[in-house]
Amino acid sequence: MRVGVVDDHPLVLAQIETILNELDDMNVVATAESVSEAKKWFVPADLDAVVLDIDLPDGNGIGLGISMSKENPALGVVFLSAVNELDAFLQVPEATRSKWGYLSKTTTRSATMLARALRSAVNGHTVIDPTLLDRIDVSKAQGVSKLTKRQLEVLRGVAEGDSNLTIAQNLNISENAVGNHLIQVYETLGIPEGKNRRVTAVLELLSRDNNRDILR
């Protein structure tokens, strides 16, 4: 997988590059420290995925992601943020962010999570940082408080980009049980058919009014 990385902190940029290049299926072929450098040096058509810092000195990583996705619709994009930029992420049309992921910078220290997010994005699945779920006060979140502990565990697996089978194995339950739990989650959160219900469930959970500051 050919990957580009954009981050205005040289140490973070080097760390991500090292982490990804140590993986057999990843190869960082381009790096930049700003929007202008990325636009000058990156050729989206030559990349399979990019890792973009959202807060850049000369622009916004989300805007850069939109531009690069237009040039290469097959491009997987994983955004990094040290602050709460989830609202900006959610304002992008669902069709545009269908191959996007969102991670906190703390999580990128995990090669496993970063690699999983990149692979999922390239394959058309959205991964939302599962640590965000751990910061939600479910007793105050509208609708969420009605979810059972098991349903929240299943939803956390969805956030990590796991398949129903993987979630079932991790929770030691049947794959059918996972499917049933997800149906109940969709109904509780009021997610209609016809949408990417797995991604929408996680995004709606994280974007509830009472959860705006979960990335503290």
What secondary structure does DSSP assign to 89-152, as a single string? Answer: HHHS-TTTTTTEEEEETTGGG-HHHHHHHHHHHHTT---B-THHHHT--TTTSTTGGGS-HHHH
C-alpha distances (whole Å) from 182 to each of 5, 35, 187, 205 are 34, 39, 9, 13
Based on the domain organization, do 161 and 195 belong to the same domain? yes
pLDDT tens-digit map of 171-198: 999 999 999 999 998 888 887 776 567 7
Question: What total number of domains does the chain contain?
Answer: 2
Smallest CA-to-CA distance from 206 within 183, 189, 192 is with 189
Based on the domain organization, do 100 and 171 belong to the same domain? no
What lies within 8 Å, CB to CB, of 105 at 6+ separation is: 12, 53, 80, 81, 82
Classified as helix, coil or strand, 80 is: strand
Radius of gyration of the chain measured on its C-alpha atoms: 17
At 198 the pLDDT is 74
At 158 the pLDDT is 79
* Residue at 199 is within a domain: yes
Let me know: does 111 contact 19? Beta carbons within 8 Å. yes
pLDDT tens-digit map of 40-60: 999 999 999 999 998 888 888
* Residue at 216 is within a domain: no
Based on the domain organization, do 106 and 191 belong to the same domain? no
Based on the domain organization, do 109 and 152 belong to the same domain? no
Whole-angstrom Cα distance, residue 113 to residue 118? 9
Count of H-run helices and E-run strands, the chain? 10, 7
pTM of the model: 0.68
213: pLDDT confidence band, cut at 50, 70 and 90? Answer: very low
216: pLDDT confidence band, cut at 50, 70 and 90? Answer: very low
Based on the domain organization, do 89 and 28 belong to the same domain? yes
Based on the domain organization, do 9 and 107 belong to the same domain? yes
Range of the domain at 106: 2-129
Q: For residue 83, give the CATH number of its domain.
A: 3.40.50.2300
